[in-house]
Chains A and B, each alone.
Chain A
Amino acid sequence: MAGLLDIIGPVMIGPSSSHTAGAARIAKLALRLLGEPVNRAEIILYNSFAKTYFGHGTHLAILGGLMGFAPDDVRLRTADILARDSFSYTLVTGEGPMHPNTVRLLLTGSTQAVEVVGVSLGGGRVKIVEIDGFPTQVDGTSHVIVVFSADRPGVITFLTALIAKAEVNIGNMNVSRRYKGASVVMTIELDQPLARGLLSEMLQSSEVHKIVQISP
């Protein structure tokens, strides 16, 4: 069942919960996944997003989200002007069998790069369905760590043992890899956020390349 605050809420910049607020949310999550400020963004809008983006300010919402603006930030209105001082970007449209409100974001920072595909489900709710080509289900409504690691035995045990030691409960876990021995993206949903020290401990393993913690 939808939460009470999903019905009475969110507070947002209009005009569309799915094409404005949802788009901003996706972009903000993508920024978190990059882990540093954006230097360059390639934005691809699909289907319904592609058809209505100008009238619904979807492009402004995405640019704003990439600068860290929340869906209720009035700066969304002029995000295209503000973005010019922040990063370079391209915006193209496409069409395909994917969800009507899909956006693909290819983000580059000074040291990191990430490719994120997000979907806007309506009412402001979103889902990140792909990270660097790996299918995922991150919706930003619970605490989650996204771990980029090597595909080696023991990595999962190493991570979950540290989480268990901190007495944090795991709600949901997803492990995705392209092929045996290649890299892996793991999403681990938690009942509480993990302390910075714990995340540093996890990064000490040579198999763990990057961790992003996302909180609601």
Chain B
Amino acid sequence: MSAANDATLPEVILSQEVARGHLTAADLWESLAQSLLVMKEAIASGLQATNLSPSGLSGGDASRLYHSPHRVMGEVGKRAAAYALATAEVNASMGRIVAAPTAGSSGVLPGVLLALAESYQFTDEQLIKALIVAGGIGQVISARATLAGAEGGCQAECGAAAAMAAGATVFLCGGETEAVFHAAAMAITNSLGLVCDPVAGLVEVPCITRNAGGAAMALLCAELALAGMRSIIPPDEVVDAMREVGHLLPASLRETAAGGLANTPTARALEKNLKQSISRKL
């Protein structure tokens, strides 16, 4: 693959998709453009929301972070986290989002891309190409491992989303194709073993926090890759390791709410209260 970033990798991914015979390049582009719009709307909606979700377990943090004067991370990082939180909060309250790759991890990719777009004035066309690159990375992870928390833990959702966003960021910033995949590999590396332990079985705690985590991880790994850092373990093997680790995770840590944070005294008490208020409603 050539080192030129402008449309080479997205063109390859797009033409492979067209070759499958279901959709034209124009159809795909249109669908991605629509998804980008929904991503922007979800962020805008999430940043405005200050009230709690129906369960009361989350809400208002995106707005709080966005308006917060404290600055430890730098503008892009803080915005990416705020936008990731915004999307995840919208998801938790049955709002409209784009599953990319899943609803539970839907904040990571838009958080990163839209924060970068604001700071560096990337156009929608460039962002759509970045989505294609992210999609291509997700396809590899889906084929070699999994994108489901129930199979691979949160490695497979927020970890995968971070990998997709890391690669997409490298592409946007003009990095080589090799750097794209190594950024993705490093994001997965830093997510190995990440469990899925949803409190009360809801897609809120710690999912929302992990979306912010994925966004930060994506930016970090893109930075490393753009500076020339590479994963000694080739990207394909890193994805395979993620699959292996996923299988080694006990079921209690794979979206069953049986272990981890879901099994803490506070989580069990919250769960009990929620069940009681639900049976009162039904």
- Footprint of B on A, CB under 8 Å? 1-18, 20-21, 48, 51-52, 54-57, 60, 72, 74, 76-77, 100, 122-124, 142, 216
Closest to A59 in B: B282
Q: Tell me whether A14 and B139 are in contact in the complex, defined as CB-CB below 8 angstroms, given that A4-B17, A8-B100, A9-B31 are known contacts.
A: no
Contact stretch, chosen from B199-207, B226-234, B239-247 = B199-207
Besides the contacts A14-B103, A74-B96, what 15 more A-B pairs have beta carbons closer than 8 Å? Answer: A4-B135, A8-B35, A11-B97, A12-B96, A13-B96, A14-B90, A14-B96, A15-B91, A15-B92, A15-B94, A15-B103, A15-B204, A20-B103, A52-B201, A55-B200
**6 closest pairs, A vs B, by CB?**
A14-B91, A7-B138, A15-B203, A122-B148, A8-B135, A2-B142
A3 touches B17 (CB 8 A): yes
Closest to A14 in B: B91
26 residue pairs A–B, Cβ–Cβ below 8 Å: A1-B139, A2-B147, A4-B28, A5-B31, A7-B100, A7-B134, A7-B139, A7-B164, A8-B100, A8-B101, A8-B109, A8-B131, A10-B99, A14-B90, A14-B203, A15-B202, A15-B204, A17-B103, A18-B148, A48-B150, A52-B201, A52-B202, A54-B282, A55-B202, A74-B96, A123-B102
Are the CB atoms of A7 and B98 closer together than 8 Å? no
User: Chain B residues with Cβ under 8 A from A4's Cβ?
Assistant: 13-14, 17, 28, 132, 135-136, 139
Q: How far is the CB of A125 from chain B (nearest CB, A)?
A: 10
Q: Are A55 and B142 in contact (CB under 8 A)?
A: no
Q: How far is the CB of B41 from chain A (nearest CB, A)?
A: 10
Residues in B neighbouring A15, C-beta threshold 8 A? 91-94, 103-104, 202-204
- Within 8 Å CB of B148, what residues of A? 18, 122-123
- A122-B150 contact given A9-B35, A13-B94, A55-B274, CB 8 Å threshold: yes
Which B residues fall within an 8 A CB radius of A?
13-14, 17, 20, 22-23, 28, 31-32, 34-35, 38, 55, 90-104, 106, 109, 131-132, 134-136, 138-139, 142-143, 147-148, 150-151, 164, 200-204, 274, 278, 282
Structural contact, B139 and A11, CB atoms closer than 8 A: no
Contacts of A51 in B (CB 8 A): 201
Report Cα–Cα, A77/B139, bound state, in Å.
Answer: 30
* A6 neighbours in B (Cβ, 8 Å): 142
Other-chain contact of B97, A2, A5, A14, A216 (Cβ < 8 Å): A14
- Bound-state Cα–Cα, A15 to B204, Å: 9
Q: Are B143 and A2 touching (Cβ within 8 A)?
A: yes
- Cβ-defined contact, A100 with B274, below 8 A: no
Interface contact B203-A12, CB-CB below 8 Å: no
Min CB distance A149 to B, Å, is 28
**Cα distance, A35 to B55, chains bound together (Å):** 37
Smallest CB–CB gap between B239 and chain A, Å?
A: 13
Contact check: which of B20, B32, B55, B203 meets A8 at CB < 8 Å? B32
Shortest Cβ gap from A191 to chain B (Å)? 8
Contacts of B109 in A (CB 8 A): 8
A7 touches B101 (CB 8 A): yes
Q: How far is the CB of B264 from chain A (nearest CB, A)?
A: 18
A2 pairs with B139, CB closer than 8 A = yes
